[in-house]
Copies of this chain bind each other. A is one copy, B any other.
Amino acid sequence: MSITITAFDRSPDGGRGLARDTRIRWALEEVGQPYSVRPVTFDDLKRPGHLALNPFGQIPTYEDGAVALFESGAIVLHVAQTYPGLLPEAPAARARAVSWVFAALSTIEPPILELEGTGHSERDRPWHAERVPLMRDRLHRRLAQLAAHLGDSDWLDGAFSAGDLMMASVLLRVKSSDLLDVHPTLAAYLARAEARPAYRRAYEAQRSFNTRP
């Protein structure tokens, strides 16, 4: 079955890999499945054809002839449950890896997105300067808990899993800031994730895609 995902026709980040199709590309590279990418413009996102695939007008979506999915968490989990390579075999360890997928998306990503949102859409508001430190403090508390859990381990719970893929994908959003400077454990974790050949291939693929003529 041939896999097709959607991605922004041109990612707003210009190919830095922060759009959510990168997570799916990475997962598919980890499990060794080829895929094709259908570009979607911002106008396309609001059209019935795309809304039938994703009612919230977002990317990525995933189609493989048998199933059509949306939400990067669901897609990564589907890939991980369909092909070997991203989840442990043992049922208990497998379920714990899924806990980490949700922790990345429900506990770590929201304060990152709120800080980003404050930095972008509220940049010209009078409260911007005062609110950013509040958001940073909140995020630092979560990052400190994550670092404490990680300790000296390479990955969150045994071998690299879909949980690490999602956590690293979320942490990549703050890589260009100074936020990880006080969490060297997490900076090293992120560097290990980025060094994976599957991530490198996914990153290069999205960069080529977003910088094509």
Binding site for B on A (CB under 8 A): 51, 55-58, 66-75, 77-78, 91-92, 95-96, 98-99, 101-103, 105-107, 109-110, 113-114, 117, 121-122, 125-127, 130-131, 134, 142, 145-146, 148-149
Whether A101 and B74, one on each chain, are in contact in the complex, defined by CB atoms closer than 8 angstroms, is: yes
Number of identical protomers: 2
Interface of A is mostly: helix
Interface centre among A95, A110, A142 (most CB of B within 10 A): A95
**Chain B: CB-nearest residue to A103:** B71
**Chain B: CB-nearest residue to A76:** B102
Q: Which of B74, B95, B145 contacts A102 (CB 8 A)?
A: B74
Q: Can you pick out 27 interface pairs between chain A and chain B where the beta carbons lie within 8 Å of each other?
A: A55-B145, A55-B146, A55-B148, A55-B149, A56-B107, A57-B145, A67-B91, A67-B96, A68-B92, A69-B99, A70-B99, A70-B103, A71-B103, A71-B106, A73-B106, A74-B101, A74-B102, A75-B99, A77-B102, A78-B95, A105-B106, A106-B109, A110-B110, A114-B117, A125-B130, A126-B127, A127-B130
